[in-house]
Chain A
Amino acid sequence: MSPLWAALDLPRALAAGFFSTVVMTTLMTASQGFGLSRMSLPFLLGSVFTPDRNRANVAGFALHFVNGWLVSLLYALAFAVMGRPSWWLGGIFGLVHGLFVLTALMPLLPSLHPRMATEDDGPTPTRQLEPPGFLALNYGRRTPLITLAAHLAYGALFGALYGR
């Protein structure tokens, strides 16, 4: 086993990843419920597999948690490389992660998502989902802020829990 993997505390990473994902998902879902943003990462994930909104939300939540765990392993590896885990280093990871989602992943999404329409082609029988646009601003003006805040919370909480 490489020293990097050896430094990884898998049970702790998974537990911390689970709680961090719960908090991040709660923040983003609450922002939807309070009418601050229409962004729903679970729905965007789930709608890859089904057009039914209810099923997409359920499947998306499950996938989102799996994603949360996988990303937490990456965070844990990054901590192993960069030194002792801490809430502030986790927060920085979260911010970078959030910026990546907003600036790189979201604009790419229409090319990756089988049901997402594009402004160039318009809606088609299979692609009708509204694209997020630059910084996901199509889903509401507060969306970038909320997405960054949620990812920051994810990273900081993971750093704090994993470093204990």
Chain B
Amino acid sequence: MHDRSRPAAPVALTEPYPPIGDYALIGDCRTAALVSRAGSLDWLCLPRFDSPAVFSALLDWQTGGRFFVRPRGPFAVSRRYLGRTNLLETTFETPGGVLCLTDSMSVADMDERRREMRVEHEVLRRVECLAGEVEVEVGCDPRPLFGQGRALLQNRRKLGFAFAAGPQVLILQSEVPLHADGAGRGVVGYDRLWRGERRFLSLIAESGGPAAIPLLGAAAAARLERSRLWWETWAGRCRYDGPFPEAVLRSILLLKLLTYAPSGAVIAAPTTSLPEAIGGPRNWDYRYCWPRDASWTLTAFFDLGYQEEGKAFLSWLLYATRRRHPELGVLYDVHGESRIPEYALATLDGYRGSRPVRVGNGASGQLQLDVYGELVESACEFVSRGGELDRPQARLLARLGETACRLWREPDEGIWEKRSGRFHHTFSKMMCWVALDRLLAMDERGKIALGRSRERFARECREIRHAIETAGWSDRLGSYVDVLGEEGADASLLLLGIYGFVDPRGARFRSTFAHLDRTLGAGDLLYRYPPGTDGLPGGEAAFAICSFWAVEALARMGEVERATERFAHLLAYGNDVGLFAEQIDAASGQFLGNFPQAFSHLGLINAALTLAQAEGAEAPAATAGQTGARV
């Protein structure tokens, strides 16, 4: 069991590329930035999550660009998110004193935004001396277009320093005196703070029109407080009465950070190409939205009391998928575009030399049949919570059922997006069954009208079940298998019990769980499939969401105590602010893959909800306006 709570641990500045778990996320529901334990903002894409990065030291320590605020000289660091918010507080302990850095991206509600001249994006940083005296060091060196572009530095005197890159401008205002660095590309500055003194730094970005330049001092303090209140108010809507409330709240706060507010889309992660194996080519761009995550996302939002976000997400999802109707894409950008070509950025070294750095995602051209089940399941979840589908949405869903009937016999690339060809994945077939089963259930409840398709869907359901129960089961292993007729292990098979394809308390599911835990388990962690079997060079680490699926499966099997214990152990793998990456190295506990990952946190939330249900906790409120215990 790993314990990542690290009060005031020393941070070495000489080593490039901090561990992935050393980062924490701030954001404004349009884009997000990663800040390291050393106070360095090393990743920020502008103006939205999937735009080119203006700070990308995360992927190239030399040429990526960063914005840091830290003490000069040695220091030890402790961190936390401020209360129930996404404001990050980093405390530096130095030999001379204690310095506190608060980082946020400014957020405000629509009324407040109307009253003042809106700033497109603002990174607001407050540095405050809490004890003794500390010399502060500041550096800001934006490198547009993932470090390939050049920002023209302009000293605009009392309006700060401007970094102009094409029409986009970043303007840095600082209460720490700054000057151009030796290369003339960035700015640096130093200041000595005594106990009680504080300084604000505001970096704004504007790409659409003339910028608004906000004030520092008391006005900046008010903006910081407004952001804090905004997040507190949002978090206050959380209705969850179950085990591990802090982890659940941090996860839903992260999910909100990864939501693109103008459309309601939720991206998988704010980064690209953080490697699944250091030095290897398993580097993918996750700054997009996968319909696969839909039903878990919807459950998380609805069951925790966020109906508005859930509805916005479903509307976006149905809008986006309508564009490729009647077939579904694997991933979409935040505005619903499904053609996302993939290319490599040759000029970037990659995180710790992990190349290539990819932009875009080639999986968008794959066939992944499970998405039909996940999309229909999410609509079914919506309807079961009292939501109403309009006629075009109901028609769209019925057509998706037709497509599932037509395609389920085809091989596909599967949930893990392997690039080694198409196979008859058991999980993909099962999710086609989920699509048809849920459509039939909604038809029965009068939520959609299947008409003449009803009989066909029922027949295909039976055929899928027959195929899985015969070719998808191995008597020798006592387990369902990854591919029909094969004998491989795949953690996605845990979802057979979670989605209700088989009785989770039945013999077949219990023995499948035991087999998968034995074959893929590494302590409390679980690999998604046996390492080295996906056709790519190098191995990979244990998969966070699969580890949470194991908890959920155990809870559904009735082994609640074992599930709770395993869940507690898994939470200890989170970093010091409670965030998870895609993968966890079982030996070292280090994170791998894109970070932080919505998929992992969705697994966490859904496992906690299942545990809460299993423990007989009060059912979370499912409708707006209903009062309930709050975190």
**Contact of A130 with B157 at beta-carbon distance under 8 Å, contacts A35-B166, A51-B115 already known:** no
| Residues of chain A within 8 A of B158, CB atoms compared | 118-123
Instruction: Name the contact of B212 in the complex, choosing from A130, A138, A139 (C-beta under 8 A).
Output: A130
Q: Is the interface of A mostly helix, strand, loop or mixed?
A: loop
Is A21 on the interface with B (CB-CB < 8 A)? no
| Residues of chain B lying within 8 A (CB to CB) of residue A124 | 215
Whether, in the assembled complex, A141 has its beta carbon less than 8 Å from a beta carbon of chain B, the answer is: yes
| Cross-chain contact B117 with A51 (CB below 8 angstroms) | yes
Determine how close the nearest CB of chain A comes to the CB of B237; give it in whole angstroms: 27
Contact of B213 among A37, A55, A130 (CB under 8 A): A130
Bound Cα distance from A122 to B159, whole angstroms: 5
Contacts A52-B114, A130-B171 given: A123-B209 contact, CB under 8 Å?
no
Count of CB-CB pairs between chains A and B under 8 Å = 98
- Which A residues contact B (CB, under 8 angstroms)? 32, 35-40, 43-44, 47, 51-55, 115, 117-125, 128-132, 138-142
Q: Residue of A at shortest CB range from B162?
A: A138
Report if A128-B157 is in contact (Cβ < 8 Å); known contacts: A40-B209, A43-B210, A139-B167: no
B-chain residues with CB within 8 Å of residue A138 when the two chains form the complex:
154, 156, 162, 164, 169
Find chain B residues with CB under 8 A from A47 CB.
117, 210
A129 contacts which chain B residues (CB < 8 A)?
Answer: 117, 210-213
Q: CA–CA, A52 to B209, complex, Å?
A: 13
Q: How far is the CA of A51 from the CA of B212 in the complex (A)?
A: 10
B210 contacts A38, CB within 8 Å?
Answer: yes
The residues in B between 99 and 117 inclusive whose CB is less than 8 angstroms from any CB of A are 114-117
Say yes or no for B413: interface residue by CB 8 A criterion. Answer: no
What's the nearest-Cβ distance from chain B to residue A119, in Å?
4
Bound Cα distance A39, B206 (Å): 12
Decide if B587 is an interface residue (CB 8 Å cutoff): no
Chain B residues lying within 8 Å of A125, measured Cβ to Cβ, are 215, 219
Cβ-closest chain A residue relative to B154 = A138
Q: Which B residues are in CB contact (< 8 Å) with A120?
A: 157-158
Instruction: Give me 7 A-to-B residue pairs in the complex whose CB atoms sit less than 8 angstroms apart, sorted by A's number.
Output: A47-B210, A51-B116, A115-B117, A117-B159, A119-B158, A124-B215, A140-B167
B214 in the interface (beta carbon within 8 A): yes
Residue in chain B with minimal CB distance to A42: B209
Mark interface residues in B197-227 (1 if CB within 8 Å of A CB, else 0).
0000000001111111111000100000000
Docked Cα-Cα span, A139 to B370, in Å, equals: 47
Residues of A within 8 A of B173 (CB): 123
Contacting pair B167 A35 (CB below 8 A): yes
**Contact in complex: B213, A128 (CB < 8 Å):** yes
Across the interface, do A53 and B117 meet the contact criterion of CB distance under 8 Å? yes
Does B208 lie within 8 Å of A130, measured CB to CB?
Answer: no
In the assembled complex, the CB of B302 is this many whole angstroms from the nearest CB of chain A, namely 31
Which chain A residues border B156 with CB–CB below 8 Å? Answer: 119, 138
In the complex, B118 has a CB within 8 A of chain A: yes
Q: Is the pair A140, B116 in contact by a Cβ cutoff of 8 Å? A: no
Complex alpha-carbon distance, A119 and B208, angstroms: 21
Shortest A28–chain B CB gap in Å is: 11
Query: What are the 3 A-B residue pairs with the smallest beta carbon separation, nearest first?
Result: A122-B158, A140-B167, A130-B211
Chain B window 161-179, contacts with chain A (Cβ cutoff 8 Å), 1 for yes, 0 for no: 0101011110101000000
Given A36-B166, A43-B210, A130-B213: 4 more A-B contacts, CB < 8 Å: A35-B207, A55-B114, A130-B212, A138-B164
